Amino acid sequence: MKMKEKMHTGDLYLCGDEEIMQEQFNEIRQKVNADLETISSMKEIGDLKAKYLGKSGEITSLMRCMKDLAPDQRASYGKFVNELKEEVSLIIAKKEEQVKQAETLAK
């Protein structure tokens, strides 16, 4: 299986190897959860969305790897990345709702 290396903000993304891909996805999940623990404002929520889901975010960078994969690998890789993106979006949305409620109560 051919692997391609992609650099993104100091992280190494290897496209094509499913085991490494799952490790990377788990690392991103862990980083998101760790970042969420420190968030207490809507501005921080916006920064977190940009960091992971924005135009140059980590998950968006994973999607860019697809062009380097063999055609038969793209579908499964894209599915994994889309599931990760959806999962991270939901986690951030839940935290966003909590922060909104906390800010409303603080007023």
Give the C-alpha distances (Å, rounded to integers) separating 82 from 38, 75, 97: 25, 10, 22
CA torsion, ordered 63, 64, 67, 69, to nearest 10 deg: -60
Burial 35-45 (b: 16+ CB within 10 A, else e): bbeebeeeeeb
Q: pLDDT in tens for each of the 107 residues of the chain? A: 333 344 333 444 556 567 777 888 999 999 999 999 999 999 999 999 999 999 999 999 888 888 888 888 888 888 989 999 999 999 999 999 999 998 888 87
How far is C-alpha 51 from the chain's CA centre? 8
